[in-house]
Amino acid sequence: MKKILNILAYTFIGLTVMAQGQPSAKVFSNFNYNISDEDNNFKAFEVNRAYLGYSYALSDEFTTKITFDIGNNSAGSQYTAFLKIASVSWKTNDNMNINFGMIGTKNFKFMEKAWGHRYIYKSLQDKHKWASSADAGVSVDYQFNDKLSVDAQVLNGEGYKKEQEANGLFRGGVGLTYDASENVIVRVHRDVVPRESYADNDAHQSTTSAALAYKGDGFSLGAEYNLQENAKNVLDQERTGISAYGSYNLNEGMSFFARYDELSSENDWNLSKDGTFLIIGIEKQMVKGLKVALNYQSSTAATENAEAESSLFMNLEFKF
């Protein structure tokens, strides 16, 4: 009898906490059809990602958040769950917020939001693994005024799927965001990964990003330039990535979107991964929390005589 009462008590407490907090879920899925090779037209239904989360306000100043990332990860099985966010945020005053734990990083969050179609394709830095979207560490956001804000972060540097390496080195970054007008927002960010050793060919890796987002009447535009110096901590190994994207509202709930990426490396040291990428498509907001997009995706490697690899996609995102 005592055991049953304990179970009922814990169940009641759990339901009470759940009712006070905010559970959430987000799922990315698609159907894709490769149209490049007539002899091998690969096609598949895929569920790429599922995010399950819960947030809870401890007080007006302190909030907590937990998010699990479930997807096709090389570190595990077809569907592996990783703890992506496990953080506490402290709003010290109206201007400053401090985040601690497994936190969302600042490296490309602005660009991902400006692109606006994460469920279809990752932003450039995320796609090419220049940085991770989450990591263990601490970050600070400070709002100087209505137009200018600054943020800084100190992270383990391995991302949320790996633990801190034995070297104990941290990855740091600082960013500045400026609301130039009601329509234009500009951001710059600098990220540094220290070298593990001090051989002649070793150096600190630094990534500098500049991005712009414009929102007009029924349309939006965005562009970013990314420069990585001493890539992978190798001296004078440099690569650049540019991305431009936009969307145009066709009618209520439907929009046209496009994106172009270009990745290049100095002296072709990363030639096998250099190249261009293009997306063109139409998106429909079916109901609140459900979006569907039909789109064409094409990538062309930078190697000589490379042919474009093209696919047709139907992407779907639902969240609640």
For 1-18, the pLDDT digits (tens) are 455 545 544 444 454 555
Mean pLDDT computed over 253-278: 96
Maximum pairwise Cα distance, the chain? 76
**For 179-196, what is the mean pLDDT?**
96
pLDDT at 70 over 50: yes
Check whether 67 has a pLDDT greater than 90.
yes
- Cβ 235 vs Cβ 229: under 8 Å: no
With beta carbons less than 8 A apart as the criterion, state whether 44 and 314 touch: no
Closest CA to 188 of 178, 203, 180: 178
pTM of the predicted protein model: 0.90
Confidence of residue 37 (pLDDT cuts 50, 70, 90): confident
Confidence of residue 36 (pLDDT cuts 50, 70, 90): confident
Structure token digits, residue 169: 């080195």
In the chain, where the domains are located: 2-319
Per DSSP, 77 falls in state S
What are the backbone dihedrals phi and psi of residue 269, each rounded to the nearest 5 degrees, phi first? -65, -25
Reported as a pLDDT band with limits 50, 70 and 90, residue 239 is very high
Please report which confidence band the pLDDT of residue 76 belongs to, taking 50, 70 and 90 as the band edges.
low
> Is 53 a residue whose pLDDT tops 50?
yes
Mean pLDDT of 91-95: 96
Question: Residue 278: which H helix or E strand, with range?
Answer: strand 275-287
| Per-residue model confidence (pLDDT) at position 174 | 98
| Mean pLDDT of the residues in the chain | 92
Question: Residue range 223-247: average pLDDT?
Answer: 97
Mean pLDDT of 128-157: 97
* CATH code of the region 2-319: 2.40.160.10
